[in-house]
Structure 1
Amino acid sequence: MAHRVFAIRLWPGLIAAALVAALSLGTLGVVALRAESFSTLSKFDWMAVRFTVVQALISAGLSVILAVPVARGLARRDFYGRRLLITLLGAPFILPTIVAILGLTAVFGKTGFVSIALNWAGLEPISIYGFHGVILAHVFFNLPLATRLLLQGWGAIPSERFRLAASLNFSPRDMFRHIEGPMLKEIMPGAFAVIFLICTTSFAVALTFGGGPKATTVELAIYEAFRYDFNLGKASLLALIQVVICAVAAFVSLKFRVPQVGGAGLDRPVQRFDVHKLSARGVDLFWIMMVSLFLLLPLLAIVLRGAYGVFDLPISVWSAAARSLVTALGSAALAIILSLSLSLSALRWRWLEGIGMTAIAASPLVMGTGLYIVLFAVADPADWALFITALVNAVMSLPFILRAIGPALATTERTYGRLSDSLGLMGWTRVRLVLWPRLRGPVGFSAGLAAALSMGDLGVIALFARPDSATLPLQIYRLMGSYRVDQAMGASLLLLGLSLALFYIFDFWGRRRA
């Protein structure tokens, strides 16, 4: 029997789905129609395609492989600060890309901590630019994500299995073969596919650490085709290739989504009997410390170096910060409206949620350029740069938000739907009294995530912003280009603080009265 929540008008969900489809696929069609010709891609363009796939494969592989011992150590050990460290590992998307890039440069660059230590040892300093710099940055962003995904798998193994293994006197090899190995076989392919997808659409990392024929991603090649050549034909072909690559990765990520593993248990606290050996403690401690240093040192460098520059910021940085705040808040509002409309309508038509997920295979640069072409006939697109940026960022965050709101909405309706029917609760009354109190937490988290993602975005705005209308990430990139490193560090610390504050405020609002 259909629940009466479906009495809610479905046209908002249909409009949201149409908007997402138009931005994801329609803008690609607009760019293709505007192109005068579709010239054959050069060998440098195919090098960009090959580099994109190769670096994404290596980045995803390293992230997942290195995450195995880290997640295993966190799952087996209980120590002071463990929860805080795991929380830190849950923030790869919240950290603005340009901030992380500056932090990595401060640690691994020519004048960074690592290079100074190598100089003291009489060795040549390392270079963070090029292929290995892109890999390093992507592992920095995605190793925490892979660790969290694998840690969920360890947490899903019932404690009874470890008790049984202890009674059978399992060796560490037996433990891995019969308990941990099967879990990893189920989770690692999905984690690899998701991270591959993220690395494929990377822009800011390739723009800063890459460049040149040998270290250019497809997304960066699209930007160059737009920005420097205005070759819409080439940009369309590159965008189509990227859509195909991302569609394959998205299909794999859905096919190998993170499952519930380990079977049923009695929900007893997990007690491990195989972790008391000194060698096991040493291995776990080593990996946890190494990853903690790898993640925390760049952030510490931003705080230490940015503290000196934050008091010497020009007025243009503060103006850019205000524009970024307005854009982030607008993007969060649009993302929540779109996601709630899609999720409510998807209770009847599940394919609507699938349309919302199509943004995961789209290029934000193509979206922005398509909107630019459409607006050019009626207005100056530069006047709409912030709105276009907010809209594109809202759509690009939908795949992550729908995974937070959609399951919570479906679970609430499945649990309380029949009771609500029997009480005559329907329509918006049902949403207000039954659904919203249980959606407030996911909505707050999703709004914070969307705002933080938009706050740190360096994509669409790089195409259309005037010199006097940059957002904070673009202003930081310009400061870096003019070698004003101290001010760039200060602006990065400001961006980091604003992004974390936005996420915390929205998330706290959602959890407080959920």
Structure 2
Amino acid sequence: MARRAQPLGAATGLGLGAAALALALGLGTIAAVALRAEGPARLGAADLAAVRFTLLQALASAALSTLLAVPVARALARRRFPGRGVLITLLGAPFILPVIVAVMGLLAVFGRSGLLSAALAPLGLGPVDIYGPGGVVLAHVFFNLPLATRLVLQGWLAIPAERFRLAAALGFGPAERFAHIERPMLREVLPGAFLVVFLICLTSFAVALTLGGGPRATTVELAIYQAFRFDFDLGRAAWLALIQVGLSVIAALSAFAIAVPGAFGPGLGRPVAQLGTDGRWLRLQDAAWLTLATLFLILPLAMVALRGLPGLAGLPPSVYAAALRSLAVALGSAALTLALALPMAIAIDRLKGLRGRAVQAAGTLTIAASPLVMGTGLFILLFPLADPRLLALPVTATVNAAMSLPFALRALMPAVAEAERSHGRLADSLGMTGGARLRLMLMPRLRRPVGFTLGLSAALSMGDLGVIALFSDPGHATLPLQLYGLMAAYRMESAAGAALLLLVLSLGLFWIFDRGGRTHAEP
């Protein structure tokens, strides 16, 4: 059957241009740094140790996050209780939480003077120290357990309820249901969830900077930072960045090879109803998993709020100035993310096939790139044109947009495909092309994912502590960098207040954009 006409030629061209820009940001900046290097680069024993630790902590973090996500997602899928929707929404909070704020919350709970150490003291047990490899893995699980749970939960909800009804009719117990229904779904879903978490942990910087940093807890991204900051060894930084991209590509290919397609077939769209003789023990088990997961997520956030309230009143003016700079960077990054992601999503839908997958790969590649190398490459390319000190905030916004691009595409691509599938032929018959098609047909149906994309990219940029830590001077510091400086100076009361301010601004930006996208949105 012949394919219908593809009228959005301009949008497709913009999408191809955006894909080329994303590719240039991901790989072209590595080339710019490598070409500027003086002489061949050599990786020392410390660099190889950083690569080894990066792999080990990413594997451990991804394994723990996905394995713990299974019982939590199963409990959410088969139990109905008051506040279930709120809890599922809460699972999205750690992913958009500023890393340095989360670290302060984790220290308040698991640090040497935290709640856990205070609880262990009467038992004669020493204080807990989360600095080092254990703390890096703990922080990554805090960030990524909710994300993995959401991904696995989607797999559970995709199982037709009729399969569970049939299992109940056949008298299947929990073991049989797991073997015949749940395990095939997990075989399909877990490799993808593991890959997402692994890639996020592979490029970890702020967590390693605050909780690691020693010889035993240096990630590749932190080694790149040290190569720039202390040695200005551009060749070594470029090689480390290429190794990081290579590890990400190998991980992606391995996950795709392990995953298997689902074989459940369509259902009637009914909600999952876990029928059968579960018994009281399984209900208590589900309640225990949900309680532990909720406490693990809420306690650090609650401690940030409790410790930050007294420090809000005494914040120095520099903190509020940094907050305004962070807001400007976040809004600019959100706008740029949408400007790149929307035409790319349209181009992916219009091109399909190999060309569409190539555009998607270019947009996804940035998740494996080094933000520090990306920022340095941009500085090298722009140095002849402007004063580098004036470029710190624009470059930071650009890099943050590139890092948010894979998540924006994930949100926009299905919505664009559904809008074209349901209304594309009608738009074709009315002769809608270009801007009119985008404004009248696509955008009314993309309000939700567009609002989510803007909110997510703004929140991620608001809490970013990456490029700005490498190039900014004190007069151009963003709020995360200002907070890190307060922590380094042991001004903990002011740091707690700044952390609460950063938390409120990040979550507030996400809520405003996401809520705005849901208002008057068309199905």
TM-score of the superposition, structure 2-length normalised? Answer: 0.95
- 1:90 Cα deviation from its structure 2 partner: 2.1
Give the letter aligned to residue 212 of structure 1.
G
Question: Are 1:272 and 2:279 an aligned pair?
Answer: no
1:164-192 Cα shifts (integer Å, max 9, x gaps):
11111112111111111111111111111
Which residue does 2:415 correspond to in 1?
408
Which residue does 1:335 correspond to in 2?
337
1:329-367 Cα shifts (integer Å, max 9, x gaps):
000001101111222233235132322122122111001
Contact 1:275 1:281 survives alignment (8 Å): no
Over 3 Å counting, the alpha-carbon distance change for 1:364 and 1:124 in structure 2 is same
Give the letter aligned to residue 490 of structure 2.
Y
- 1:143 Cα deviation from its structure 2 partner: 0.7
* Structure-to-structure mapping, 1:77-156, within 5 angstroms: 77-156=79-158
- 1:62 Cα deviation from its structure 2 partner: 0.7
Question: Are 1:506 and 2:513 an aligned pair?
Answer: yes
- RMSD over equivalenced CA pairs, Å: 1.6
Contact 2:187 2:259 survives alignment (8 Å): no
Over 3 Å counting, the alpha-carbon distance change for 1:257 and 1:198 in structure 2 is farther
Over 3 Å counting, the alpha-carbon distance change for 1:452 and 1:254 in structure 2 is farther
Question: Are 1:372 and 2:379 an aligned pair?
Answer: yes
1:306-340 Cα shifts (integer Å, max 9, x gaps):
11111111101000000000000000001101111
**Among candidates 287, 298, 312, match of residue 310 of structure 1:** 312
Q: Distance in 2 between matches of 1:467 and 1:215?
A: 27
Structure 1: unaligned runs, 5 residues or longer: none
Q: Distance in 2 between matches of 1:451 and 1:258?
A: 35
Q: Distance in 2 between matches of 1:5 and 1:509?
A: 29
- 1:49 Cα deviation from its structure 2 partner: 0.2
Which residue does 2:184 correspond to in 1?
182
Over 3 Å counting, the alpha-carbon distance change for 1:242 and 1:428 in structure 2 is same
* Structure-to-structure mapping, 1:338-417, within 5 angstroms: 338-346=340-348, 347-348=350-351, 349-350=355-356, 351-417=358-424
Q: Distance in 2 between matches of 1:339 and 1:8?
A: 15
Which residue does 1:447 correspond to in 2?
454
- 1:107 Cα deviation from its structure 2 partner: 0.6
Contact 1:332 1:447 survives alignment (8 Å): yes
Give the letter aligned to residue 248 of structure 2.
C
Which residue does 1:476 correspond to in 2?
483
Which residue does 1:30 correspond to in 2?
32
Q: Distance in 2 between matches of 1:275 and 1:136?
A: 36
Contact 1:334 1:394 survives alignment (8 Å): yes
1:417-440 Cα shifts (integer Å, max 9, x gaps):
222222222222121111111112
Give the letter aligned to residue 247 of structure 1.
V
TM-score of the superposition, structure 1-length normalised? Answer: 0.97
Which residue does 1:294 correspond to in 2?
296
**Among candidates 422, 430, 447, match of residue 429 of structure 2:** 422
Of residues 300-309 and 404-413 in structure 1, the stretch that sits farther from structure 2 once superposed is: 404-413
Q: Distance in 1 between matches of 2:257 and 2:425?
A: 31
Q: Distance in 1 between matches of 2:248 and 2:289?
A: 32
Contact 2:11 2:343 survives alignment (8 Å): no
Contact 1:76 1:275 survives alignment (8 Å): no
Give the letter aligned to residue 237 of structure 1.
W
1:236-257 Cα shifts (integer Å, max 9, x gaps):
1111111101122233455677
SS in 1 for 2:8: helix
Identity, % of aligned pairs? 60
Q: Distance in 1 between matches of 2:39 and 2:123?
A: 56
Q: Distance in 2 between matches of 1:287 and 1:339?
A: 37
Q: Distance in 2 between matches of 1:253 and 1:365?
A: 26
Contact 1:157 1:261 survives alignment (8 Å): no
SS in 2 for 1:5: coil
- 1:386 Cα deviation from its structure 2 partner: 0.4
SS in 2 for 1:8: helix
Of residues 172-181 and 269-278 in structure 1, the stretch that sits farther from structure 2 once superposed is: 269-278
